[in-house]
Amino acid sequence: MTAAITRNIQLYRWSRFLRSMIFWQAVWFLYFQNVLSATEAILLYAVYDVASTLLEVPSGYMSDRLGRRKTLIASAICALFGTILLAIGDSFSTFALGQILIGAGVAFASGTDEAMLYESLAATGRANEIEAQEITAWRYSYTALALSAVTGGAMALVSPVLPFVAAAVAMIALLWVTLRFVEPPRTSSVDGGSELLRLGSLGASFRNPILLWFFVLGVLMYGFSHLPFVFGQPFIHAALDDVGLASSAPLISGVVTALMMGISVTASLIALRLRRALGLPLLLLSAFALQIAISGVMALTDNAIVLAFLLLRMVPDALSRPFILGRIQPLLTDDNRATWLSLKSFACRLVFATALAFGAISTTDAGTMPYVDIATILRVACLIGLAALVALAIAARRIAIAHEKETITP
């Protein structure tokens, strides 16, 4: 049994690799727009986002009650059939169902795969390796994103459907890997399996000042990570138009995405050294500050130099996400680990969507959002971010954000 659980640790990084083989990531909008309208293409993204958001918390609860393996198998099946529907679809309803299934696949995996890794490490007496293992998984995941982005863009030049076919093959491989997982042993922190006691245990997690600090930081960093994704599109589009490369948009978009992911993987190679040199609180606050700086540059100018800063978008995640997971996992109970992580993901999506809604209200009613509106939104966001950064820094001095005893395995 120990050997099988140890195999989970190796399989985890490959499951993250295969789940990230999203060959259509840089061309999905162009693909939908060729079959449907631009408005319907945008609506399809909204369908995916709503599905993944609504299923976040139920999927975490399902994982804590039914088990990690079953939930991850459900995730792989949903992702596979969703991708197949996108490959064969020719109507809004078919594409929408595919997006719902893909959103469900993302929600089922959210928090569950991370819980699977930590519990497998804990069961084999290797819980102190969580940060190093998450960094390794990050490299696998973002290497896959980089490879699939550029190859998917090239495939789209041959046939728009090829990236979806390739992604379906990757999902078949993901299902095969997931079926090889074994359920790690878990302990219950409540007697008798009472749901009220379980909910009380979950509530206690939100009263833990360390977990609360990381919860707030996670929500803020999610938002500032996605601001360049949302508002960076006009910059990229304008840059392509200026040099007459609009016809090569799928390939160039894939290359830009690949460079972004590649830089993130490179940053992860020095993440542990930075962790040791700076300490956990300073590293995390520095990563958050870099996110604010990227949005700040976008707020200051619409010059093409912004593209260079956009390539750094995923670097703060590489320097923070593995260490955040490594710190909070031991503080969560087996009863509610996936539920807590799913609640955090739900809060991230909800807060960001709400912020975007307020931003949309403040913009002019134009077909293309003018730069002045984008700059105004980003300036307000940066002011909020700087205030939050100061507040988090003050709070970090009062609570034990770092491990009481540093045990980082290289």
How many CB atoms lie under 10 A from the CB of residue 409?
11
Q: Are 21 and 167 in contact (CB under 8 A)?
A: yes
What does each of the 410 residues of the chain score in pLDDT, given as a tens digit? 678 889 999 999 999 999 999 888 767 766 776 777 766 766 777 788 788 888 887 888 788 888 889 999 999 999 999 999 999 988 888 989 999 999 999 989 988 888 899 999 988 888 888 888 989 998 999 889 888 888 887 888 888 889 999 999 999 999 999 999 999 887 655 554 555 555 556 667 778 899 999 999 999 999 898 888 767 655 666 666 666 665 555 566 667 777 888 898 889 889 989 998 999 999 999 999 999 999 999 888 877 677 788 889 889 999 998 899 888 888 888 777 888 888 888 888 888 878 877 766 665 555 455 667 778 888 999 999 999 999 999 999 888 787 644 433 33
Q: How far apart are CA 14 and CA 5, in angstroms?
A: 15
The Cα–Cα gap between 163 and 184 comes to 34
- Taking CA atoms, 73 is separated from 67, 145, 164, 257, in Å, by 10, 21, 20, 28
Which of the following CATH numbers is that of domain 2-184+204-396: 1.20.1250.20, 1.10.132.20, 3.30.70.100, 3.40.50.450?
Answer: 1.20.1250.20
**Is the Cβ–Cβ distance between 270 and 138 less than 8 Å?**
no
